[in-house]
Amino acid sequence: MSVLLNAESKVVVVGATGRFGRQTLEDMRAAGTNVVAGVAYKASSDVDPTLPLFSSVSGAVAQTGANAAIVFVPASRAVDPLLETLESGVKLVVYPGEGLPILDAITVRRAALANGVVYVGANTPGLITPGVAKLGFMPTDCYTPGPVGVISRSGSLSYEAAAALTTAGIGQSTAIGIGGDPIRGLTAGEAIELFHSDDATQTVVYLGEIGGDAEYEIADYAARPDAKPVVAHIVGRTAPKGKQMGHAAALVGSHRDTWDAKVEALEAAGVVVARSMRELPEDVGRALRGHE
């Protein structure tokens, strides 16, 4: 059973009456997620009338026993709802919003750490335990249950990789989109430690890109004698120096930020780096066989 999102997860949707909140709520339910409550910041007649709606996150948690939450509030005014959610007693929070101001992102991450909450975001599709539940908006049909944990800085790349693995008959334990912002609620290093403690995960796939230090955190883990096998795929090989590529954190400012430097560090730590998505399932299959 996944240590992150599992059959015991009870989810509250904060901002459940907004357009995106309503759509994602129904999609999550269709994937098996146990959505037990919503928090409404505005009235709506489009939400399932059987879903309990509350005016505060703490009220929803107290009445329903919710232990996980996803927050749908625009980034410009998300800091207060996020802090309220992180202080409500839930242990897992996802914030998909893009463009959370840097100071707000720092404040929210500090609150998550202070309250012992696994906080995934911002700028993330969320996370999914295939066949059990999802807390986000990733396409469910790309995923299938299995022993491979997935960590990705890119939402679309994680869907592509999961679909490739699924097509090859390789399932996933849980897939986490840690997001592409410079300040993350859950870092790559913290995510892989969660998978290290997860009995359902035998091998970890890391999907990274240029810029930032996330890939070096993965290398630090892989170099440990007790590490689980790690297979990586890194994008941005041809990105020019000083050019931001897509995500806010995908920026080559020095050699350390480049594709070459990151691949060198990962391979030196024992990570198998797939040079293409076509190679990824083959490399993961070999890693799984070596783990047996």
Catalytic amino acids? 247
For the record, the structure tokens of 265 come out as 């560090």
The set of residues, in sequence order, having a beta carbon less than 8 Å from that of 204 and lying 6+ positions away, is: 148, 149, 150, 151, 192, 195, 228, 229, 230, 231
**Cα(5)–Cα(255) distance, integer angstroms:** 37
Sheet holding 118-121, edge to edge: 53-54, 35-39, 11-14, 68-71, 92-95, 118-121
Task: Name the helix (H) or strand (E) containing 152.
Answer: strand 145-152
For the record, the structure tokens of 125 come out as 């599709």
For the record, the structure tokens of 199 come out as 């009995």
